[in-house]
C-alpha cells in the first residue's frame, strides 16, 4: 500500500478523515506510523497528497488531509481480457489497474470455462476491491471503468467497433509476425486471449471488429505478464 485510498464515507470534514478495518491494520502493522507522521493518501476519484496522523489506535486512524496533487493521468487504454482462471484473476485485475488502464473489459471466450464466471471472485465487489489494491500499489485514485461481457459475439460485433473509433485496436496473437506499431498518444484497445488462446472463429470476429494482430514473440506469457509487457511496449 503505497497510498492510503480514502472514500467519501471516511471524511469527517474536507480536511479530516477517520478510517478503520484493513487500512487501519496496514498502517499500524506495516507502516508503523507515529503521531504527526505524514502518509501518502488520496481520495477516490479525487486528488492525492499527504495525511498527517492525528490519532492511531486499535479503533481508528484519523488524518489531517492536504490533497493538492492531481492523480497520474490514465493511459488511453482499454484492456479486453478473456476471463482468466479464478486463481489468477485477482492479480490480473490488480495489475491492470496498477498499470493505469482507463477501462477493463472481462470477456467470455470458447476456452474460458463456465466455472470461471461462477467464481465468487467474479463478483463486482471483489473485482472493485482488486482494482483498489492496484490503485493503492500504483499511487492512483481513479478506478478503471469495468465491464463484464458474458457473451462474446454481441460484445465483439456490436460494441467493440464503437470502442475502437478514433483509436487503434490490437490483439495479442502469437505467430502473427506483426511487431507493435508506434502509437504516440493514440487511444488503444488491446485484447488478450485466454490460456490456450482464442479459437479461429474468435480471431476472425476480432479482426472483423477492427483489431490488428500483434506478435509478442515466440514466448507464451501468463496473462498478467503479457499485460505488463504489452503496456510497457506500447506506452
**Residue where the block lists cell 506499431:** 181
**Residue where the block lists cell 505467430:** 175
- Note whether 233 binds its own copies by CB under 8 A: yes
Q: Cα–Cα distance between 90 and 134 in angstroms, integer?
A: 10
- Note whether 214 binds its own copies by CB under 8 A: no
- Note whether 137 binds its own copies by CB under 8 A: yes
Q: Choose one: 95-103, 115-123, 142-150, 157-165; the region binding its own copies (CB under 8 A).
A: 95-103
Identity of the residue, 33 or 149, whose beta carbon is nearer to its own copies in the bound complex: 33
Q: How far is CA 190 from the centre of its chain?
A: 13
Q: Cα–Cα distance between 113 and 83 in angstroms, integer?
A: 9
- Note whether 184 binds its own copies by CB under 8 A: no
Size of site (CB under 8 A) for its own copies: 26
Strands 188-192 and 168-172: parallel
- Note whether 220 binds its own copies by CB under 8 A: yes
- Note whether 55 binds its own copies by CB under 8 A: no
**Shortest Cβ 72–its own copies spacing (Å):** 4
Nearest to 84 by CA among 232, 227, 185, 234: 227
Q: Give the count of beta carbons closer than 10 Å to the beta carbon of residue 185.
A: 7
Identity of the residue, 190 or 209, whose beta carbon is nearer to its own copies in the bound complex: 190
Rule CB under 8 A: which residues touch its own copies? Answer: 2, 72, 95, 98-100, 137-140, 217-222, 224-233
Amino acid at each position: 500500500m503505497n497510498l492510503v485510498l480514502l472514500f467519501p464515507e471516511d471524511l469527517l470534514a474536507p480536511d479530516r478523515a477517520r478510517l478503520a478495518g484493513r487500512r487501519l491494520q496496514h498502517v499500524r502493522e506495516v507502516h508503523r506510523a507515529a503521531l504527526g507522521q505524514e502518509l501518502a493518501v488520496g481520495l477516490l476519484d479525487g486528488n492525492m497528497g499527504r495525511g498527517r496522523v492525528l490519532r492511531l489506535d486499535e479503533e481508528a486512524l484519523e488524518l489531517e488531509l492536504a490533497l493538492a496533487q492531481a492523480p497520474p493521468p490514465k493511459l488511453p487504454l482499454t484492456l479486453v481480457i478473456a476471463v482468466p482462471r479464478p486463481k489468477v484473476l485477482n492479480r490480473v485485475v490488480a495489475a491492470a489497474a496498477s498499470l493505469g488502464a482507463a477501462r477493463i473489459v472481462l470477456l467470455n471466450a470458447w476456452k474460458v470455462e463456465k466455472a470461471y464466471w461462477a467464481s465468487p471472485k467474479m463478483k463486482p465487489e471483489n473485482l472493485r476491491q482488486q482494482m483498489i489494491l492496484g490503485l493503492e500499489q500504483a499511487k492512483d485514485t481513479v478506478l478503471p471503468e469495468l465491464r463484464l461481457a458474458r457473451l462474446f459475439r454481441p460484445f465483439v460485433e456490436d460494441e467493440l467497433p464503437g470502442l475502437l473509433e478514433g483509436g487503434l485496436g490490437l490483439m495479442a496473437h502469437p505467430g502473427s509476425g506483426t511487431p507493435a506499431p508506434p502509437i504516440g498518444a493514440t487511444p488503444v484497445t488491446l485484447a488478450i486471449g485466454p490460456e490456450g488462446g482464442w479459437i479461429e472463429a474468435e480471431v476472425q470476429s476480432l479482426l472483423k471488429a477492427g483489431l490488428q494482430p500483434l506478435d509478442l514473440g515466440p514466448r507464451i506469457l501468463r496473462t498478467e505478464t503479457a499485460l505488463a509487457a504489452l503496456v510497457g511496449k506500447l506506452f
